[in-house]
Structure 1
């Protein structure tokens, strides 16, 4: 037997062992994900928080400098909000950005250049998740998610907004629109998980694994790459580093959303833009798109050659189409 043959056999065995171990780990994570008791999101250690904040600040440095930073008190804790405005946009209908899991405000770096010219933009870190918001009370349902979003916008004097959400932020944005439809000028859902259906089992598995504490870095990077739909997870990238640090050091306390019922879909009558990835979607691709088309006033699009990282992968298209969508809503 050659050295190469022995090496290849070892790699195959190691790979099989890794998959088997991750399968067990994933079952534990999925149980915690669905059935864990409500709590308060927190960093597991001071050193872990320090590492995360350093990565967060590095990722934020790539964004346009905000006009203002707000820490807004709500009934569930304090929400960190970044505001971008100018003399031209100060009286515009604001665009509110609700981030995906563990992504926070920095995830919008590729999209802000397209949104800022015509709109005041407000972006915040989600309560219960990694970021600079500080949770003080448990979130027991997605209704609570809608309440803290409303508290935040009310605290900033926002009466109506174009609400945009990605991934879990999409589910939260949909919940907000369901509870406060009169405050949502338009709704944009980018790969919104648990909104039009449940995620595919294999994608839910990797998402669950990526959040486990104590996971070896290589394993976590593998899980995050699977969730993001990329072949290789660049651990040197600022956003990737921040997400990895948050996944490792922050214990999230987020309610698991339930897909919208037929009646809830029918009640969302505001103009809605839905973008779903063609492959490795956490939403369900074509099946989810078909269900989204039950919305009363929706533009539902499946973006070719995209994955769950759709806001970054389709930035040029979104940066063009969304301002046009908002313009049409306001003129109509």
Structure 2
């Protein structure tokens, strides 16, 4: 268990670093552009890593490329078992650079019990494509809304991790009628700012320094030994390939106001990591509690990779949570 947690912390470091570098880039180069692969060879390298990571997931029932105003959305569906009392479908939005493969540890706890839809994000590495630039963060909520409408999903349980949590929060703010419940797993920025130390280490990643120094910065971000950063799993290899070969132009989410949070009267569940949280840790949890959101849980011995690290317990808790809030 300890080795698995450390490996996942290494993945968290890669993902967190990518998010932070993108935030800096959005400040110095805010001109709207679409995300793109830097070369055909780079995409092929990434695709091989993506396929290897996807091979760790149970085979989906159906795969679709759903059109939206901003590009096509790669969507994987796992249908509920025949005869199951499945309730409303669940939609999963991934963290930055993580795509659908990030849910490998979680899906086994939900498949057959619920109909599940996992999406690769538009404007990020994955198999979705972007054709129109985002001009505001609300545009990221718009492609989600359009994809859900195209899929014919009128009411869903929406789940987002990290950057996907921020997208899920903004989507629910703008389109509350389509969301029966919202689950935010380590959502970045929407509750609390990023730690200053994260910007310091991420700045080092943008400089022309040796890989050794970059590994050191990644280790500081993830809170793990350098050896864990250098260890490769199918998921970390995919995240690393996406970072190298995909150029994203992602607008960064803003922190929502108290009034905005209070305007969302639907059930909202918030889960925060106790160690190296990018959601704001105890400060984010305390704010969510003060706003009347519940349940709010700070998970011990977890980092930003909370969904994978707490997969077993979170799996059963969310099954019960969704059942409670089926309309």
Normalising by structure 2, report the TM-score. Answer: 0.87
Name stretches of at least 5 consecutive residues in structure 1 with no aligned partner. Answer: 1-25
CA distance in 1, matches of 2:223, 2:110: 25
Q: Could you list the per-position Cα deviations for residues 79-110 of structure 1 after superposition, in whole angstroms to 9, with x for gaps in the alignment?
A: 10000003245963111000000000000000
1:74 is aligned to 2:68 = yes
Report the equivalent of 1:102: 97
1:292 is aligned to 2:288: yes
Residue from 106, 123, 146 that aligns with 1:151: 146
- Taking a change above 3 Å as real, the CA distance of residues 264 and 39 of structure 1, as seen in their structure-2 partners, is same
Residue pair 1:104, 1:124 contacting (<8 A) in 2 also: yes
1:241 pairs with 2:237: yes
SS in 2 for 1:34: helix
Instruction: For 2:197 and 2:116, locate their aligned partners in 1 and report how far apart those are by CA, in whole Å.
Output: 35
1:180 corresponds to: 175
List aligned pairs for 1:312-323, cutoff 5 A: 312-323=308-319
How do residues 260-299 of structure 1 correspond to structure 2 at under 5 angstroms?
260-299=256-295
Higher RCO (Cα < 8 Å, 6 or more apart): 2
1:189-234 deviations in Å (ceiling 9; x for gaps): 0000011011102224445666x59876555554444444433125
| Cα separation, 2, equivalents of 1:304 and 1:257 | 26
Could you say which structure has the larger radius of gyration?
1
Give 1:143 deviation, angstroms. 0.8
Q: Specify which of 105, 109, 112 is matched with residue 107 of structure 2.
A: 112
Give the match for residue 133 of structure 2. Answer: 138
Q: CA deviation at 1:114?
A: 1.3
Match of 1:171 in 2: 166
Partners of 2:33 and 2:126 in 1: CA distance: 16
- Once superposed, what is the RMSD of the aligned Cα atoms? 2.3
Q: Aligned in 2, Cα 1:184/1:208: closer, same or farther, shift over 3 Å?
A: farther
Q: Structure 1, residues 285-309: CA drift from partner, whole Å, max 9, x if none? A: 1111111124444211100011111
In the alignment, is residue 311 of structure 1 matched against residue 307 of structure 2? yes
Task: Between 126-135 and 31-40, report the one with greater CA deviation.
Answer: 31-40
For residues 161 and 277 of structure 1, the distance between their equivalents in structure 2, rounded to whole angstroms, comes to: 25
Unaligned runs of 5+ in 2: 1-18
**How far did residue 29 of structure 1 move?**
6.5
- Is the contact between residue 160 and residue 184 of structure 1 (CA under 8 Å) also seen in structure 2? yes
Tell me: CA distance 1:288–1:328, structure 2 relative to 1, closer, same or farther (3 Å).
Answer: same
1:122 to 94, 117, 127: 117
Q: CA 1:313/1:230 → structure 2, altered by over 3 Å: closer, same or farther?
A: farther
Instruction: Give the equivalent residue in structure 1 for 2:253.
Output: 257
The superposition leaves residues 23-78 of structure 1 with CA deviations (integer Å, 9 ceiling, x where unpaired) of: xxx99875313342221001111111111000000000000000000100000000
In 1, Cα distance between equivalents of 2:132 and 2:60:
28
Give TM-score, length-normalised by structure 1: 0.85
Residue 31 (str. 1) matches residue 27 (str. 2): no
CA separation of 1:227 and 1:67: change in aligned 2, threshold 3 A = farther
Partner of 1:192: 187
Contact 1:111 1:315 in 2 (8 A): yes
Q: Matched residues in 1 for 2:326 and 2:153: separation?
A: 16
Distance 1:139 1:213 in 2: 27
Q: Structure 1 residues 228, 88: CA separation in 2 closer, same or farther (over 3 Å shift)?
A: farther
